[in-house]
């Protein structure tokens, strides 16, 4: 892939992964990129590597700019394998390079590679590396999203290399935000941002907010944000900062999503009048059937909307497995500021809807009680109850959403 000069003497030397659809279980429907950057200065410095599947491409990309042997420093902002697992291949060509990394990053790297012959410099927030005309300043971002994480700021270039932060899983011919719309839409961009945030960063909202405020207080001049995935923000880096702040604060659309699964279509039948009830209250509503939709898509739509209704039949006195899996996964993402409810059909003992509410309580979500259950298959009267259930939920949702608008 052709290196691209993003600032004078600073090159994108990353890889576009057009084919990946399973990113440790997260469905990357648009593929992704592994961005890394090469600073051509008195001391040639590589910022991050790429996923090991692309070792050969990573080396070749560097070679198009400089002999990899000349790399003097390698900055590892984050040790997750999509960014750090080509390090061994790079070190074959640049065995004398010094690796700049956080203490936790070094410990993690030691667990993945034989690092005994590699040179390291452990860095903390505020430490710098002068490469010549450029100064690389490191800022630790622990738990954003791994303990080892940091970002690198280059003041002379007003450039923030932000590792995962501000990224998107999006394989594209476009490298920059201003090129993006020549082949994609605004919807695709925002969809990719929300998808990435919801599935990877949702648990860290407070930390993200605090870290962005810290960067703002430091008064860093930033006219380009170059993440390790997706497009580089050069036209309007403020846009992605504000979008992240909104997402971190839990901002949501006044909308609902029904996420359900069904055994013999009874819970599915209930979804339809519930959706109509929500819609008739003027609230947009999406419907997602688990098992027909990826978990990551469902998570994204959950986070986009202020309200969610979970539909689950009862099987063996508990929730349907796909619904249980969804709620289990959602709980790990520690969602906040969402209103939820549950519904479903049962044959004899019931239990699934009750179990869903226990999960809502565990997550600390606002729940509209008591949910709605129907025996076996919904009758005409049950369908009317479903419609009213949808309307009532939408009314509560609007009220709940209003509290956030007033802040
Ligand atoms: Fe893109 Fe946390 O790795």
Is there an atom of ligand 1 within 6 Å of 78 CB?
yes
Q: For residue 243, what pLDDT is reported?
A: 94
Quick check: 208 and 162 in contact, CB under 8 A?
no
Is there an atom of ligand 1 within 6 Å of 229 CB?
yes
Residue 56 clears pLDDT 70, i.e. is over it: yes
Number of neighbours of residue 120 by Cβ within 10 angstroms: 17
Q: What is the CATH number of the domain that holds 110?
A: 3.60.15.10
pLDDT tens digits, 84-112: 999 999 999 999 999 999 999 999 999 99
Give the range of the structural domain holding residue 90, as residue numbers without chain letter.
Answer: 4-248
**Claim to verify: residue 175 and residue 52 sit in the same structural domain:** yes
Is there an atom of ligand 1 within 6 Å of 82 CB?
yes
Is there an atom of ligand 1 within 6 Å of 391 CB?
no
Residue 234 lies in a domain: yes
Measure 312 CA to ligand 1 centroid, in angstroms.
33
The pTM of the full predicted model, rounded to 2 decimals, is 0.94
**Claim to verify: residue 185 and residue 269 sit in the same structural domain:** no
Nearest CA to ligand 1 atom 3: 80
Nearest CA to ligand 1 atom 2: 80
**Claim to verify: residue 362 and residue 278 sit in the same structural domain:** yes
- Average pLDDT for 147-164: 97
Least trusted range by pLDDT, from 19-23, 217-221, 262-266, 309-313: 217-221
In angstroms, the CA 55 to CA 49 distance is 9
Residue 137 clears pLDDT 80, i.e. is over it: yes
Measure 198 CA to ligand 1 centroid, in angstroms.
14
Q: Which atom of ligand 1 is nearest to the CA of 164?
A: 1
Residue 102 in tokens: 């956080």
Nearest CA to ligand 1 atom 1: 164
**Claim to verify: residue 174 and residue 304 sit in the same structural domain:** no
Residue 406 clears pLDDT 80, i.e. is over it: no
**Claim to verify: residue 296 and residue 364 sit in the same structural domain:** yes
pLDDT tens digits, 207-258: 999 999 998 888 999 999 999 999 999 999 999 999 999 999 999 999 999 9
In which band, very low, low, confident or very high, does the pLDDT at 338 lie, cut at 50, 70 and 90? very high
pLDDT tens digits, 379-393: 999 999 999 999 999
In angstroms, the CA 285 to CA 264 distance is 23
Alpha carbon of 97 to those of 40, 158, 159: distances in Å?
14, 25, 23
Residue 333 clears pLDDT 90, i.e. is over it: yes
**Claim to verify: residue 17 and residue 131 sit in the same structural domain:** yes
Measure 394 CA to ligand 1 centroid, in angstroms.
37
Is there an atom of ligand 1 within 6 Å of 80 CB?
yes
Residue 393 in tokens: 């939920």
Q: Which residues are catalytic?
A: 24, 78, 80, 82, 145, 164, 196, 229
Residue 403 lies in a domain: no
Query: pLDDT > 70: what percent of the chain?
Result: 100
In angstroms, the CA 399 to CA 401 distance is 6
Residue 407 lies in a domain: no
Alpha carbon of 295 to those of 26, 282, 306: distances in Å?
7, 27, 18
Measure 229 CA to ligand 1 centroid, in angstroms.
8
Quick check: 163 and 84 in contact, CB under 8 A?
no
Question: Where is the domain boundary, 248, 283, 306?
Answer: 248
Q: For residue 280, what pLDDT is reported?
A: 98
Q: Which residues, in sequence order, are CB contacts of 83 under 8 Å at separation 6+?
A: 34, 36, 48, 49, 50, 51, 76, 77, 163, 164, 228
Q: Which atom of ligand 1 is nearest to the CA of 163?
A: 1
Is there an atom of ligand 1 within 6 Å of 83 CB?
yes
Residue 407 clears pLDDT 70, i.e. is over it: no
Residue 64 clears pLDDT 90, i.e. is over it: yes
Residue 303 clears pLDDT 80, i.e. is over it: yes
Is there an atom of ligand 1 within 6 Å of 164 CB?
yes
**Claim to verify: residue 144 and residue 92 sit in the same structural domain:** yes
Question: Where is the domain boundary, 248, 265, 287?
Answer: 248
pLDDT tens digits, 355-376: 999 999 999 999 999 999 999 9
Residue 6 clears pLDDT 70, i.e. is over it: yes
Q: Which atom of ligand 1 is nearest to the CA of 167?
A: 1
Is there an atom of ligand 1 within 6 Å of 81 CB?
no
Is there an atom of ligand 1 within 6 Å of 43 CB?
no
Residue 163 lies in a domain: yes
**Claim to verify: residue 232 and residue 334 sit in the same structural domain:** no
Q: Which atom of ligand 1 is nearest to the CA of 78?
A: 2
Average model confidence (pLDDT) across the chain: 96
Our count of domains for the chain comes to 2
HEC readout, the chain: CCCEEEECCEEECCEEECCCCEECCEECCCCEEECCEEECCCCEEEECCCCHHHHHHHHHHHHCCCCHHHEEEEECCCCCHHHHCCHHHHHHHCCCCEEEECHHHHHHHHHHCCCCCCEEEECCCCCEEECCCCEEEEEECCCCCCCCCEEEEEHHHCEEECCCCCCCCCCCCCCEHHHHCCCCCHHHHHHHHHHHHHHHHHHHHHHHHHHHHHHHHHCCCCCEEECCCCCEECCCHHHHHHHHHHHHCCCCEEEEEEEECCCCCHHHHHHHHHHHHHHHCCCCEEEEECCCCCHHHHHHHHHHEEEEEEECCEECCEECHHHHHHHHHHHHCCCCCCEEEEEEEECCCCCHHHHHHHHHHHHCCEECCCCEEEECCCCHHHHHHHHHHHHHHHHHHHHHHHHHHHC
Q: For residue 27, what pLDDT is reported?
A: 93
**Claim to verify: residue 122 and residue 18 sit in the same structural domain:** yes
Measure 81 CA to ligand 1 centroid, in angstroms.
7
Residue 361 lies in a domain: yes
In angstroms, the CA 304 to CA 389 distance is 22
**Claim to verify: residue 260 and residue 243 sit in the same structural domain:** no
**Claim to verify: residue 219 and residue 270 sit in the same structural domain:** no
Structural Rg of the chain based on CA atoms: 24
Q: For residue 405, what pLDDT is reported?
A: 83
Question: Where is the domain boundary, 248, 280, 303?
Answer: 248
Q: What is the CATH number of the domain that holds 312?
A: 3.40.50.360
Is there an atom of ligand 1 within 6 Å of 382 CB?
no
Measure 250 CA to ligand 1 centroid, in angstroms.
22
For residue 152, the cross-strand partners are 138, 161
Long-range pairs for 273-276 at CB < 8 Å and ≥24 separation? 273/383, 273/384, 273/386, 273/387, 273/390, 274/309, 274/311, 274/343, 274/386, 274/387, 274/389, 274/390, 274/393, 275/390, 276/387, 276/390
Measure 374 CA to ligand 1 centroid, in angstroms.
44
Q: For residue 300, what pLDDT is reported?
A: 97
Measure 221 CA to ligand 1 centroid, in angstroms.
25
Residue 404 lies in a domain: no
Residue 386 lies in a domain: yes
Q: For residue 1, what pLDDT is reported?
A: 78
Q: Which atom of ligand 1 is nearest to the CA of 200?
A: 2
Q: For residue 377, what pLDDT is reported?
A: 97
- Average pLDDT for 262-287: 98
- Average pLDDT for 191-215: 94
Residue 406 lies in a domain: no
**Claim to verify: residue 109 and residue 65 sit in the same structural domain:** yes
């Amino acid at each position: 892939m052709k290196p691209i000069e993003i600032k004078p003497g600073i090159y994108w030397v990353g890889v576009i992964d057009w084919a990946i659809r399973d990113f440790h279980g997260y469905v990357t429907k648009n593929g992704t990129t592994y961005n890394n950057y090469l600073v051509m200065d008195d001391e040639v410095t590589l910022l991050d590597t790429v996923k090991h599947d692309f070792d050969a491409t990573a080396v070749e990309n560097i070679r198009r700019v400089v002999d990899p042997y000349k790399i003097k420093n390698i900055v590892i902002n984050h040790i997750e394998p999509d960014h750090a697992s080509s390090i061994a291949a790079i070190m074959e060509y640049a065995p004398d390079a010094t690796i700049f990394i956080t203490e936790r990053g070094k410990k993690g790297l030691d667990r993945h590679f034989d690092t005994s012959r590699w040179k390291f410099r452990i860095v903390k927030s505020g430490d710098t590396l002068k490469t010549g005309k450029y100064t690389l300043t490191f800022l630790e971002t622990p738990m954003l999203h791994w303990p080892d994480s940091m970002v690198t700021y280059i003041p002379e270039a007003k450039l923030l290399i932000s590792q995962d932060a501000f990224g998107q899983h999006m394989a594209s011919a476009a490298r920059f935000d201003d090129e993006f719309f020549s082949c994609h839409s605004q919807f695709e961009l925002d969809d990719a941002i929300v998808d990435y945030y919801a599935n990877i960063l949702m648990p860290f909202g407070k930390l993200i907010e605090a870290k962005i405020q810290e960067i703002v207080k430091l008064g860093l001049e930033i006219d380009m944000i170059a993440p390790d995935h997706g497009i580089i923000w050069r036209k309007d880096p403020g846009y992605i900062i504000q979008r992240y702040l909104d997402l971190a604060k839990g901002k949501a659309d006044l909308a609902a999503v029904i996420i359900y699964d069904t055994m013999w279509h009874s819970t599915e039948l209930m979804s339809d009048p519930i959706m109509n009830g929500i819609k008739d209250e003027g609230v947009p509503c999406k419907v997602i059937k688990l098992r027909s939709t990826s978990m990551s898509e469902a998570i994204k739509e959950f986070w986009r909307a202020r309200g969610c209704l979970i539909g689950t039949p009862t099987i063996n006195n508990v929730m349907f497995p796909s619904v249980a899996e969804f709620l289990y996964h959602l709980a790990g993402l520690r969602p906040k500021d969402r209103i939820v409810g549950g519904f479903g059909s049962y044959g004899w003992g019931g239990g699934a809807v009750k179990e869903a509410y226990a999960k809502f309580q565990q997550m600390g979500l606002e729940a509209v009680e008591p949910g709605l259950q129907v025996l076996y298959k919904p009758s005409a009267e049950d369908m009317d109850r479903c419609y009213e259930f949808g309307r009532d939920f939408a009314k509560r949702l609007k009220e709940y959403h209003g509290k956030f608008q007033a802040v």
